[in-house]
A and B are shown apart, each in its own frame.
Chain A
Amino acid sequence: MSKPTDTASASEEIHVVHIHRDDFGSKMGMWLFLFTEILLFGGLFILYAGYRFIHPDGFAAAAAELDVLMGAINTVVLLTSSLTVVLAIVALQKNNKKLCFFFLWVTIACGLLFLLNKYFEYSAKFHHGIYPKGPALQDMSEGEVLYFGLYFVMTGLHGLHIIVGLAFIGVVMWQIKKDLITSTNFQKLENSGLYWHLVDIIWIFLFPLLYLIH
């Protein structure tokens, strides 16, 4: 990873030496990592499916506690952030660094807005005594308790992924600024985009499964 910079800074003569670069390998590596992410969340989705199958009424009753509007707003926010990441890639490919930065800043703003909404949602739940081992859960049925357990684990893990994705995009922005990522060498930006889109896809499934049960 540090090889190109070392060679570039060492001297101009070394610059002609062929620098090993494998964008496809880089992309494939990113996808292999994403597969492990799919299977990580996949396990939770299977757990969700199993418990919902056993406790359909408990899940429906518990899901009624969630604010559909908040979930819908967060869905729109994440979809928009996915769009801005892909537009940032287009902008960089067109060598428009300024526009690329604009789109990436919008993405970061969307990610933070998502986390802010999640904070308000979690606060409302905590306020009503709904949290793991919370007082409100004592009077609930087994299905409802399982639902809230899954709700906090799945949205919590997803929220962590948003934070990691934001950090990833932040590092990539710094590298674009330093011209380590350019219009002809953009795979790292693309990889950060892949990660961000995967997190978006997970939310695409979480939203109807957690918020829209009737």
Chain B
Amino acid sequence: MSTDNNNHSAEGEDEGHIAVAHHPSYGTNILVWIGLLSLTSITVAVAGINLGSLALTVALIIATVKSFFVMNFFMHVKFDNKVLKIFIGVCLLIFIIVLILTFFDLTFRY
């Protein structure tokens, strides 16, 4: 898979800044969609079980996995170059840092 990606990015560089079609075809995307639907039904099913404080964690983990699939396959991030991946990573990191800092405040205050 990784060599495959390298080939793709190399192709992209050869073509300059003109985007070339090297995205997965219909089948892969439909498989990802089926996976996303399954994860949705799992979220709904799990919410019915009384997991207590774990319920939120499980729901968030499933939502994160779903977003990961949407970003990598539907938004083609998996096939994008490194710069874009780093940009996205930094943006998400900033969000997570602010979230964690908020909870430092909240846990000590309440």
Residues of A within 8 A of B (CB): 21-25, 27-28, 31-32, 35, 38-39, 42, 45-46, 49-50, 53-54, 68, 72, 75-76, 79-80, 82-83, 85-87, 89-90, 93, 183-184, 186-187, 190, 193-194, 197-198, 200-201, 204-205, 207-209, 212-214
Contact = CB atoms under 8 A, between A and B. Distances in A.
A189 to B, nearest CB: 11
Main secondary structure of the interface of A (DSSP, over half): helix
A208 B33 contact: no
Contacts of A193: 74-75
**List of 6 A-B pairs having minimum Cβ-Cβ separation, nearest first:** A23-B19, A93-B21, A208-B59, A212-B47, A83-B33, A22-B17
Interface of B: 12, 17-19, 21, 23-26, 29-30, 32-33, 36-37, 40, 43-44, 47, 50, 55-56, 59-60, 62-63, 66-67, 70-71, 73-76, 80-81, 83-84, 87-88, 91-92, 94-95, 98-99, 102-103, 106, 110
Contacts of A72: 40, 44
Nearest to B25: A90
B23 to A, nearest CB: 7
Contact of B44 (A22, A27, A68): A68
Main secondary structure of the interface of B (DSSP, over half): helix
Nearest to B27: A90
A21 B19 CA distance: 10
B29 A90 contact: yes
Contact of A201 (B25, B71, B103): B71
A82 B102 contact: no
7 contacts: A23-B19, A24-B12, A31-B88, A42-B95, A53-B110, A76-B40, A80-B33
Contact of B29 (A24, A25, A86, A201): A86
B33 A197 contact: no
Contacts of B25: 90
B70 A212 contact: no
A25 B17 contact: yes
A38 B98 CA distance: 13
